[in-house]
Structure 1
Amino acid sequence: MIIILAIILVIGVGIFLFLNTERFGKHPSGDRLARMENSPNYREGSFQNLKDTPMLTEGVSYIKVLSDFLFSASPEEPSEIPTVKTDLMNLQRDEDVLVWMGHSSYFMQVDGIKILVDPVFGGNASPISFTTKAFEGTDIYSVEDIPEIDYLFLSHDHWDHMDYRTLKKLNPKTKKVITGLGNGAHLEHWGYDSEKILEGDWYESFELEDDFRVDILPARHFSGRGLKGGQTLWASFILKTSQSTIYIGGDSGYDDHFKVIGEKYGPIDLAILENGQYDQNWKYIHMLPGEQMKAAKDLNASTVFPVHSGKFTLANHAWNEPLETISVDAEKSEIRLITPKIGELVDLKDKGQKFEKWWNF
């Protein structure tokens, strides 16, 4: 009995020490926590969605999810994904471009403003380095390939969107970070100066410079890097420049917030929407196939760029199913779909640019 208790104690201490390593970030405290507690979206000790949002679909248990994960046939990973690598260091200032880096990481230059979203360049999307690894050949960008960034957007603090190794290295290259309430605690723990960080609640806006405004908006999702969730706010964003309106969707299940955003901020020139890592077992927190183009219509968007696929396996569907499905859906819609390879240059001024169905190789 003493030996068993000793083993349990050692395991418990190990877990405690692991959860307190730098990678997990830090929970908000002090003035930051006080500001969060004054938010209408913070109740009963955590942030809440606008509508009741169960983590799992009705009738689904965590035992079923675990059983599906352990005993269902795992989706086959691609042996190779075709990519190209755009040189981001030598772009001309008058080029309006987008470059996808796989999953939900991408670079944009709009009106000369350099933007980076949810960068994960560490080769995996997990606190444990040998799990949730990037598909072979997809992790082609590193911090060294990234120019100085005017605005770094972080949609929420999940591991596949907020990689502490990437963010620590990006710190010297980053002028400002824009994110939801509470996330600054992680960033300051990783060395970011508080003056760099703009944290906002849903429907809070920032006038960043001449003709560039950002609104922080709702998403239907959740947050958390450890055992306690909801301690930071998940978000989507509207970027309004003199030339265009861009929606950064982050992670979100489908709901009527898309229509509200479209009515308030539309028409939207480019909507960047999650498309992948879905499952009927958690249908409220990620969009299912078919809901992306419905959301785009609600947003009054003319062009859709689907992300959240192509680099990691986080759900039990084929790696290329999301892109195949949305490309079929787009053929029935008047909304333009752009589907670049990882690293391929998207010219945002060229509405006629064509893209291969590279996922069908």
Structure 2
Amino acid sequence: MSTTVTLVGGPTAVLDLAGLRIITDPTFDPPQVYHHPIAGDVVKTTGPAFTPEELGTIDIALASHEHIDNLDMAGREFLNTVPRVFTTTEVADQFGDNVTGLTEYTSQSVPLPHGGELTVTAVPAKHGPEGTWQALGPVIGFMLNGPGVPSVYVSGDNSQVEVITEIAEKFGPVDIAVLFVGGAKFDVIAEGSYITLSNERALEAAKILGAKKVIAVHEDSWQHFSQNASEIRDLFEDDGLGDVIVALKPGESVELSI
């Protein structure tokens, strides 16, 4: 079965999967500076490669949490236009009936256009080291599964390898892992510790998950990302996994046959 992935920018990608169009962490604001009560100034350097109108119909949105670099102002407005949205219960409480809040390891089913169902399961994510992820607030990742459908793991802003190990034990191996990488960090948070996967941890995660393909997102368009697509490609290639990593530039698409 063919799956197409298009990078919009930052954490925002569109997956054309089994007849459904699924978007991750919608961010559509133009470049600007935001203020976060813990991180301070958060700088968006580049706008999205596509507007919502240019993307067309989206069937499902997966919103891992509500930090401004994962769900910005235009992204929040966008959620109101999507028939089915899955996110944390804290975010869901701020929206209408189209938005469903999930806690860890709870699931919802979505009918597939050609029969059968896609199961969307919330999985854990820790946004930084111990003490930091609790202060930054709840984040979830997602597992997508269905009969005859490639299994897809969407990490959300998880930075911890032990979380990956737990998910792999329950769901692995996975066909496609959409990993939020870029080594995001702020000097004022946990002394600059990573609050998303670094490229090196993403490589480790790919091996733990047994992923056939890794889609690297969340490594462009924001100032607090410390690593980029070129670096993660080189890292995977040096480890013999160059055929596994997919590191797109915003606006680019790839078709995966899995």
Same structural fold, with TM-score higher than 0.5 when normalized by the shorter chain:
yes
Given the alignment, which residue of 106, 114, 120 partners 2:13? 106
Larger Rg: 1
| Number of aligned positions between the proteins | 237
Q: After superposition, give the CA deviation of every residue in 1:190-238 in whole Å (9 maximum; x if it has no partner).
A: xxx2x2111111111112222310110001117xxxxx9556x310100
SS for the counterpart of 2:29 is coil
Counting only pairs closer than 5 Å after superposition, residues 53-202 of structure 1 correspond to structure 2 as 96-124=3-31, 126-127=33-34, 132-135=43-46, 138-172=47-81, 174-186=82-94, 188=95, 193=96, 195-202=97-104
Q: Counterpart of 1:214 in 2: which secondary structure?
A: strand
- Contact preservation (8 Å) 2:183, 2:194: no
TM-score (norm 2): 0.82
Aligned 8 A contact 1:277 1:313 in 2: no
SS at match of 1:149: coil
Structure 1 counterpart of 2:212: 302
More helix by share: 1
Choose which of 231, 246, 256 in structure 2 pairs with 1:325: 231
Change (3 A) 1:324 1:95: closer
Structure 1 Cα separation of the partners of residues 155 and 252 of structure 2: 21
Contact 1:121 1:142 (C-alpha < 8 Å) held by counterparts: yes
SS at match of 2:234: helix
Letter paired with 1:269: D
% same residue:
24
Asked if structure 1 preserves the Cα contact closer than 8 Å seen for 2:79 and 2:85, the reply is no
Aligned to 1:276: 182
State the alpha-carbon separation in 1 of the partners of residues 240 and 118 from structure 2: 30
Deviations 1:243-271 (A, max 9, x none): 20001011111231211211211111111
Counterpart secondary structure, 1:276: coil
Is the contact made by 1:275 and 1:323 (CA closer than 8 Å) also made in structure 2? no
1:234-313 aligned at under 5 Å gives the runs: 234-241=139-146, 242-279=148-185, 281-283=191-193, 285-313=195-223
| d(CA) in 1 for partners of 2:145, 2:79 | 24
Q: Show CA shifts across 1:108-132 (max 9, x none).
A: 111101111111111136546x972
1:85-139 alpha-carbon deviations (Å, 9 max, x no partner): xxxxxxxxx96311001110011111101111111111136546x972333xx53
Aligned to 1:17: none
Quick check: 2:161–2:201 contact (8 Å CA) kept in 1?
no
| Structure 1 residues 165 and 323: CA distance shift in structure 2, 3 A | closer
Secondary structure, counterpart of 1:97 in structure 2? strand
C-alpha contact 1:125 1:163 (8 A) present in aligned 2? no
* 1:348 partnered with 2:253: no
Q: Report if aligned partners of 1:126, 1:159 keep a CA contact under 8 Å in 2.
A: no
Task: Report if aligned partners of 2:48, 2:250 keep a CA contact under 8 Å in 1.
Answer: no
Task: Compute the TM-score of the two structures, normalised by the length of structure 1.
Answer: 0.60
Conserved in 2, the CA contact under 8 Å of 1:97 and 1:346? yes
Q: Deviations over 1:303-330 (max 9, x none)?
A: 1111111211115x4xxx4323322221
List alignment gaps of at least 5 residues for structure 1.
1-93, 223-227, 352-361
RMSD: 2.5
Q: Paired residue for 2:224, among 290, 309, 314? A: 314
Q: Is the 1:125–1:160 contact (alpha carbons within 8 Å) kept by the matching residues of 2?
A: no
